[in-house]
Amino acid sequence: MLNPPKKIFEKLANVNSTNQIYSEVLDKLKKLILEKCRNELERAKTKQTIDITNEHMRRFESAVKYLPESMENALEIELQHC
């Protein structure tokens, strides 16, 4: 069974206080996912055209909708400022 990132983050947040390793994993996952999304956004900006055929923009948008709300909001703000 596949778990979307929102569910994985929820599970890690629930056990976050149980063990330091979960907190570290949660932080590392957030950083990696944000970095990947930001890289796609940068690639989309360098393509010069923001249209539906921009594969980087489509990747960014499809990834963002599966993230926890706080991460989704942060990336949406970054998208608005490009």
Is 4 inside any structural domain? no
Alpha-carbon distances, residue 78 vs 13, 24, 37, 60 (angstroms): 24, 25, 10, 11
Is 21 inside any structural domain? yes
Is 1 inside any structural domain? no
Position 54 scores a pLDDT of 74
Is 29 inside any structural domain? yes
Which of 2, 71, 5 minimizes the C-alpha distance to 38? Answer: 71
Is 28 inside any structural domain? yes
Is 3 inside any structural domain? no
Position 58 scores a pLDDT of 84
Domain holding 66, by residue range, is 11-80
Is 5 inside any structural domain? no
- Residue 15: count of CB within 10 angstroms of its CB: 13
Position 49 scores a pLDDT of 60
Number of domain units in the chain: 1
Query: Is this model's pTM higher than 0.75 or not?
Result: no
- Give, for all 82 residues of the chain, the pLDDT tens digit: 567 788 888 888 888 878 888 888 889 989 999 999 999 888 888 876 656 567 888 888 888 888 889 999 999 998 888 7
